[in-house]
Structure 1
Amino acid sequence: MPKYIVWGSYCEDVLEKRVPYRQAHLDGLAKQKEAGVLITIGPTKDVTKVFGIYEAEDEATVRNLIESDPYWVNGIWTEYEVKEWIQAF
């Protein structure tokens, strides 16, 4: 199954703005991880960017997961890019 990387940006004042959506966001990611579609995801140390790796049928599946996440729906993630990734090692 293809792998995809996700690279995106957080809004300003993310640490404060994410609070109401954080648990729903984490619960959703846990379900994705259990289902095997999410390999890993997390912020950069300065909490300005998010990076993730997904294993999914197609790019549309990954985009659907991102765009249904509470962080996207509520403007915590402000933009993102998805690229199919070839794992060499």
Structure 2
Amino acid sequence: MRFEPTWLVTATFAADARLTRQPHRAAHLDHVRGLLADGTALVAGARADLGASLLVLRAPDAVTARTLVEHDPYWQHRVWTAIEVIEYLAATPQSLGRS
């Protein structure tokens, strides 16, 4: 079985994110829509408690995955305070060699 390089990204929200995210939310959603539209992101969302955002990204390596998230307005405006990138074995049709 062949797995594409896929990464589970956790972006931790700042303690005041409920207030600070609003001015950047539209730009953040545009960024995420672009990643989903081109197939880079397989999943994107946030924990219901706004503790963190979670993304599953296709990228050749962890550095590239992290860079994609660092281009998000939430990171650039400190709505997120930390990014963790770990290798993820995504069992999707693409990674399993099926369409």
Return the TM-score normalized by structure 1. 0.90
Q: Which residue does 2:35 correspond to in 1?
A: 32
Q: Which amino acid aligns with 1:22?
A: R
1:35-54 matches, within 5 Å, as: 35-54=38-57
Q: CA deviation at 1:69?
A: 0.7
Within the alignment, does 1:85 sit opposite 2:83 as a pair?
no
Q: CA deviation at 1:13?
A: 2.2
Q: Secondary structure at the match of 1:8?
A: strand
Q: CA deviation at 1:53?
A: 0.5
Within the alignment, does 1:19 sit opposite 2:22 as a pair?
yes
- Partners of 2:73 and 2:91 in 1: CA distance: 32
Higher helix share: 1
Identity %: 33
Alpha carbons 2:11, 2:52 under 8 Å: kept: yes
C-alpha root-mean-square deviation of aligned residues, in Å? Answer: 1.4
- Partners of 1:27 and 1:88 in 2: CA distance: 26
Divergent runs of 4+, >3 A: none
Question: Quick check: which has more Rg, 1 or 2?
Answer: 2
Q: Indicate how the Cα distance of structure 1 residues 35 and 88 shifts in structure 2: closer, same or farther if over 3 A, else same.
A: closer
Q: Which residue does 1:72 correspond to in 2?
A: 75
- Partners of 1:9 and 1:83 in 2: CA distance: 14
- Partners of 2:90 and 2:23 in 1: CA distance: 36
- Partners of 1:7 and 1:66 in 2: CA distance: 10
Q: Secondary structure at the match of 2:49?
A: coil
Q: CA deviation at 1:88?
A: 5.3
- Partners of 2:85 and 2:60 in 1: CA distance: 14
Q: Which runs of 5+ in 1 are unaligned?
A: none
